Amino acid sequence: MSDHASPSGRPLDQWPDALEATIAHCTSWRSVTVVRETASTQDHARNLQVGDVVIAGRQTAGRGRLGRVWIDTAEDGLALSANAAANSPQWVSLAAAIAAAQAIEDLCRRATGGAPNVGLKWPNDLLIAQKKVGGILVERNDRSTTIGIGINCTQRAFPAELSPRATSLSLQGFTIDRLDLAQLLLERLDFWITASEDKITSEYAARDCLVGNRTSFRTPNGIVDGQVLRVDPSQGIVVRTSRGDQHLPAATTSVFVPEDRL
């Protein structure tokens, strides 16, 4: 790995030692691989073992839920995938979203003395000021649950079709070091993926951006429109519609946004 400096913090060649020092205090992670560039940290992590983490300086072909594209913004974002032993993707997805939200807020507070309020939009979006700053992708295989997290850090602009609903920490006025964010994220993730269901439910509810709102959802059977009643990891999201309450599973449901690519 060269000593070329990252545009958002310390050079990548300093990342492995710093991250190994971080996971020495965690129970969920056993190794961290830092790559300068990869197509997808999720695909890279799939070939590794439980406890292994992959972090990329740049991800060129990342993906979100349901086959969506995660836009490549060079070295302006943080892309991380971690293999956990947990076997409940629904709970892990909520836990990872909470961990990422807390890591962002805590780091911004440390760096600037102020912090954004990071909200969560079921099932996988991190929001600041109602714009998407990051996302979660959880995939289960025979060996592990792979947790993918992407966070927009230093982007100063997005493509025209995304700019009304995408943001970054820089655009929100926070200058951070991506390595600091990765370290804090691994610590918070280590805590939350082993937290109790009650604790996860309570913390998620405090950050939830959908409950009580009227929202449209894309499902295999078409668009469902209704008022969001609650988020239930075992049943998905519960929506009150004109035809009664419906339970929409996370695996096949998303909030309806035309041409959602971020």
What pLDDT score was predicted for residue 64? 53
| Residues 80 and 189: beta-carbon distance below 8 Å | no
What pLDDT score was predicted for residue 5? 38
**Is residue 244's pLDDT more than 70?**
yes
What pLDDT score was predicted for residue 142? 81
| Residues 178 and 153: beta-carbon distance below 8 Å | yes
pLDDT band at 48 (very low <50, low <70, confident <90, very high): very high
In angstroms, rounded to a whole number, what is the distance separating the alpha carbons of residues 192 and 120?
A: 15
pLDDT (tens digit, 9 = 90+) per residue, 146-193?
Answer: 999 999 999 998 888 888 889 999 999 999 999 999 999 999 999 999
What pLDDT score was predicted for residue 187? 98
Strand spans (E) along the chain: 31-38, 52-59, 77-84, 118-121, 125-128, 131-140, 145-152, 214-219, 222-232, 236-241, 244-248, 254-255
What pLDDT score was predicted for residue 69? 53
What pLDDT score was predicted for residue 258? 56
Distances (CA, A) of 16 to 33, 99, 113, 149, 231: 7, 21, 27, 18, 37
| Residues 54 and 35: beta-carbon distance below 8 Å | yes
In angstroms, rounded to a whole number, what is the distance separating the alpha carbons of residues 13 and 21?
A: 14
pLDDT (tens digit, 9 = 90+) per residue, 2-38?
Answer: 333 344 578 999 999 999 999 999 999 999 999 999 9
**Is residue 254's pLDDT more than 60?**
yes
**CB-side neighbour CA atoms (13 Å) of 71:** 21
In angstroms, rounded to a whole number, what is the distance separating the alpha carbons of residues 254 and 252?
A: 7
What pLDDT score was predicted for residue 68? 54
- Residue whose tokens read 């070091």: 177
List CB contacts of 71: < 8 A, sequence separation 6 or more.
158, 159, 162, 261, 262
pLDDT (tens digit, 9 = 90+) per residue, 54-76?
Answer: 999 998 876 655 445 555 566 89
What pLDDT score was predicted for residue 72? 57
Distances (CA, A) of 222 to 37, 242, 251: 37, 15, 15
**Is residue 120's pLDDT more than 70?**
yes
| Residues 8 and 178: beta-carbon distance below 8 Å | yes
**Is residue 241's pLDDT more than 90?**
yes
Q: Where are the alpha helices (DSSP H) in the chain?
A: 15-23, 41-46, 89-112, 178-192, 197-207
